[in-house]
Structure formats: structure tokens, C-alpha cells
Amino acid sequence: MRTIRLGIAGLGTVGCGLMQLLARHGTRIGGVAGARFEISGVSARDRGKARDIELGPDVAWYDSAIDLATAAETDVFVELIGGSEGVAREAVAAALAAGKPVVTANKALLAAHGTELAALAERNGVALAFEAAVAGGIPVIKALREALIGNEVTRVYGILNGTCNYILTRMQEEGLPFAEVLAYAQALGYAEADPTFDVGGFDTAHKLSLLTTLAFGTQVAFDYIHIEGIEGITPADIEAADDLGYRIKLLGVAVKTDSGIEQRVHPAMVAKASAIAQVSGVTNGVAIDGDFIGDLLLVGPGAGGGATASAVAADIVDVARGGTFAPFITPAERLEPYRRAQLRRHQGAYYLRLSVYDRAGAMAAIAKRMAEQNVSLESIVQRRPKPAAGGPTLQPAAEIASGKPANVVLITHMTNEQAIREALAAIEADGQIADRPQVIRIEQL
């Protein structure tokens, strides 16, 4: 049986998880792959750091990941360093250029340089596998590349960031404000000290850019993603959503439209009775709509050493079995230039929460502005500014016309983003509302 020597760069949670996985299941999965897997070398920033793993005497230490990537002893290079530039990028490029297959969990790298690295892999006839880069253990790359290959994908969307989903879930379950849950998540290690990358939607966007390319055969176009984070979601929104039959989730959505491809990351309302609405806590969920299969939803752990190592191991076995696909299915040079759909043409229903001055004629003025843009309303609920325990109710008549701002929640029928923006601009100009309006798109599932 041939031996496949793995060079593993990066010994954080995922790197250590992979070494534990190989220690426990390496022989069995080698049997499946028709090879004996051996860790020939490793590399990490800090050699002295305490780790949960033991490096055997046959495992060479490399101070430089690039040296490991190109070493004669490395048959497959496993990049678990992270980051879009610097050593991760150089090491991956060096391995591919040296004709060595690469397995990586690095979404940032591929979001920034995916098309070019795929081209490099193809020129050198080697695999560039990245199941672990999107949604951790969930096999969504394999689903798009293989299981759904007989479909034209029309939309792919998902909950791709565990930190955001954890925060939204706790806000929903406990009625707490964003900042408080964020602090809690930071204390638990579910959120970074600087949480912007996660809660601002950027991590979700990295992953989405790769799904988009797989689904639609377009060049990786991270820079064209419309990104909104979850920082602006309030308990009032979560509560109103619940009353109206929705959950708020941070979604990454890529969808084919007549005017191009929409790629958007934003908090979205999803029907409470849907399966994706039940994806809670740090769990991820990815849905794919295809012309033959209909809708497929995959739910599982989106991060963590074990789950991500599971995805890396699957890629290693695939690489060993000789699965040299083009990394993005379509060969890199034939990926189409990304044609961005204008978000203002986005078709959908909307949740709007307005802080309306509570005076005669205010609602009529708002309704008029909506009508001018042909936005029809499914429901209008005027809500107490501070709902009592037991949940919000309709505003009692006695409190009406106090002159103070009151929360009004509107759910629109299908319309488009441009109409919503213009109607809201007119309402603001009319002086009917006290704050910036809250706008949350409703995702049709």
C-alpha cells in the first residue's frame, strides 16, 4: 500500500483535532483511501506552546510553513493557518506550484484569492480542497460539487457564522439586548475580543463568496457582497418577529436573478415553522435550491476542532482517491466574470420597524408614502415602546396620540428594495419618525 505523507501547517484547534482524528481513525480511513496516511511534518507559529497532542519522533518540525509546503517529504499539504495574506497564502501557492495537492480550511484566503489559486492548482494538475472552509463539518462543498451536480442551482443561503447565531438565539430566548449577549459570548469564548469580523457579517461573506462560485460558476467576488451585521438588531425586533411568526437569522444568500447574481449578508426574517429557523446556538445551516432536487438543507456544527477536522479528513481521503476536480467545478479560466445584481432591484417582502411620533395623521401619512411606491402592506402593528412582561400587545387606545414615539411594525407584501428605500426616505423627510427606520428583509424559503 502506498504511503501518503501529510504536512500539516497550523496546530490550533483544527490542526490538533485533525491529528487526534488521524490517531483514532487513520488506519481505517487509509484502508478506504487505499493508502497509509502518515504525518511527515508539521509547522506552527509557536513550537513551545502546550497542545493536546503528542508529536511522534517521525514527525519533522518546520519553522517555516513554506518549507513544509514544498518539502520533498510532503505529499499533501494541509493548511490550517488562516488569514488571507502572508504565510498561509505563500505556503498554499508554493505547494500548488510544486505540484502538491492542498487541503485547506482557509475561507479568508479563498475569498480573496480563490480564482487565482484554483487556476494555479489546475495548471499543476493537483487538487485544492476546502470543505472545511465553509460551515465547518457540514459537507456543503461536496453537496454542491458532487451530490447536486445534476442541478442548476438557483439559490444557496445559510446560517454560516456560529457566533452570530449564538447571539441571536440567546437574544431570542432570553429577551436580552445585543451588547449584553455579546459580552457573554466573549466570556465563553464564542466571540472574539474584537467581534467585528463575526458580528459584522464579514466571516459569513467570506464563506458565501465560495458558495456563490460553486453554485453559479462565477469568479470569486467577495468585494461585491452587500454586507450588514447583526449589531443593529434589538429585542424589540426579535420580539416583533416572534409575534409575527418569524425568527431573525444572519443569512448569507446568493441567488440568481434576471439582472445578475445577488450576494447579500444581512439579518433576515425566516418563517418560524421552517427547519432553518430551528438552527440555533452555534449550529450552522445551509440550504441549496436546485431545479431537479428542489430544496436541500444541511444542518450541523459550523466550527470547532472536531467538526472541522472531520471535513479536512474527508478532503484528504478524496485527494488520496484521486479526485482532481477543478476546485470550483468549473475550470478557473472558464469561471464567468461576476455580474452583480443591484440590491435596489431586490424583490422581496420586508419587515419595517418605525419609531412613529404618536399623533393624529401619522399613520395615514406613512401609509400614503408606502402607497406612492406601490408597497402594499400585509400587516401593521403598533407596539408599546417597552412591552410588559408576557410579551407585547397592541397599543391600548388610551395611550394613543401621546405625541411620544411608538414602535410601529409593518410587514410588506412582495416589493423591491428601491421602493422601500424611497418610501422610507419620504417618511423620514415628512418628519413622522423619530429614529432611523429598522429594515429587515424577509427571506422566502
User: Is residue 310 a contact residue for its own copies (CB under 8 A)?
Assistant: yes
List alpha helices for 274-429, DSSP H.
Answer: 305-320, 362-372, 417-429
User: Is residue 314 a contact residue for its own copies (CB under 8 A)?
Assistant: yes
Closer by beta carbon to its own copies, 176 or else 293: 293
Contact 346, 269 (CB under 8 A): no
Smallest gap from Cβ 303 to its own copies, in A, equals 11
Contact 422, 371 (CB under 8 A): no
88 grid coordinates = 498561509
Contact 68, 91 (CB under 8 A): yes
User: Is residue 146 a contact residue for its own copies (CB under 8 A)?
Assistant: yes
Smallest gap from Cβ 148 to its own copies, in A, equals 7
Smallest gap from Cβ 32 to its own copies, in A, equals 6
Smallest gap from Cβ 221 to its own copies, in A, equals 21
Which of 41, 114, 252, 301 is close enough to bind its own copies by CB under 8 A?
A: 301
**Total residues in contact with its own copies, by rule CB under 8 A:** 55
Specify the 3-state DSSP secondary structure of 262. strand
* Mask for 217-256, x = binds its own copies (CB under 8 A): ----------------------------------------
Which of 317, 354, 366, 442 is close enough to bind its own copies by CB under 8 A?
A: 317
How far apart are the C-alpha atoms of 424 and 302, rounded to whole Å?
36
> Would residue 207 show up in a list of annotated catalytic residues for this protein?
yes
Whole-angstrom CA distances from 311 to 33, 207, 235, 236 are 15, 15, 36, 38
Closer by beta carbon to its own copies, 182 or else 319: 319
8 grid coordinates = 500539516
User: Is residue 304 a contact residue for its own copies (CB under 8 A)?
Assistant: yes
**Catalytic hit among 100, 107, 142, 207:** 207
Provide the pairing of β-strand 76-79 with 60-62.
unpaired
In the chain, helix, strand, coil percent, each to 5? 40, 25, 35
How far apart are the C-alpha atoms of 235 and 194, rounded to whole Å?
22
Taking each helix axis as running N to C, give the angle between helix 305-320 and helix 13-33, from 0 to 180 degrees, rounded to the nearest 10.
40
User: Is residue 211 a contact residue for its own copies (CB under 8 A)?
Assistant: no
Whole-angstrom CA distances from 356 to 45, 243, 330, 353 are 55, 20, 51, 9
> Which DSSP category does 232 fall into?
T
How far apart are the C-alpha atoms of 158 and 263, rounded to whole Å?
12
Whole-angstrom CA distances from 103 to 77, 86, 91, 245 are 6, 17, 12, 42
User: Is residue 150 a contact residue for its own copies (CB under 8 A)?
Assistant: yes
- Binders of its own copies among 80-139, rule CB under 8 A? 131, 137-139
Smallest gap from Cβ 11 to its own copies, in A, equals 17
Q: Report which of 96, 110, 218, 67 is spatially closest to residue 156, judged by C-alpha positions.
A: 218
Closer by beta carbon to its own copies, 131 or else 228: 131
Q: Report which of 100, 103, 145, 98 is spatially closest to residue 128, judged by C-alpha positions.
A: 103
Closer by beta carbon to its own copies, 293 or else 380: 293
User: Is residue 311 a contact residue for its own copies (CB under 8 A)?
Assistant: yes
- Binders of its own copies among 366-405, rule CB under 8 A? none
Q: Report which of 327, 282, 407 is spatially closest to residue 122, judged by C-alpha positions.
A: 327
Closer by beta carbon to its own copies, 214 or else 250: 214
How far apart are the C-alpha atoms of 420 and 424, rounded to whole Å?
6
Closer by beta carbon to its own copies, 131 or else 203: 131
- Binders of its own copies among 326-365, rule CB under 8 A? 329
Which of 260, 323, 385, 387 is close enough to bind its own copies by CB under 8 A?
A: 323
* Mask for 10-39, x = binds its own copies (CB under 8 A): -------x---x--xx---x--x-------
Closer by beta carbon to its own copies, 267 or else 300: 300
Smallest gap from Cβ 40 to its own copies, in A, equals 19
List all residues 6 or more positions away from 116 whose beta carbon is below 8 Å from its beta carbon.
332
- Binders of its own copies among 267-296, rule CB under 8 A? 273-275, 277-280, 285, 290-296
Catalytic positions, written as ranges: 207
User: Which residues here bind its own copies, judged by CB under 8 A?
Assistant: 17, 21, 24-25, 29, 32, 131, 137-139, 142-143, 146-152, 273-275, 277-280, 285, 290-301, 304, 306-307, 309-314, 317-318, 321-323, 325, 329
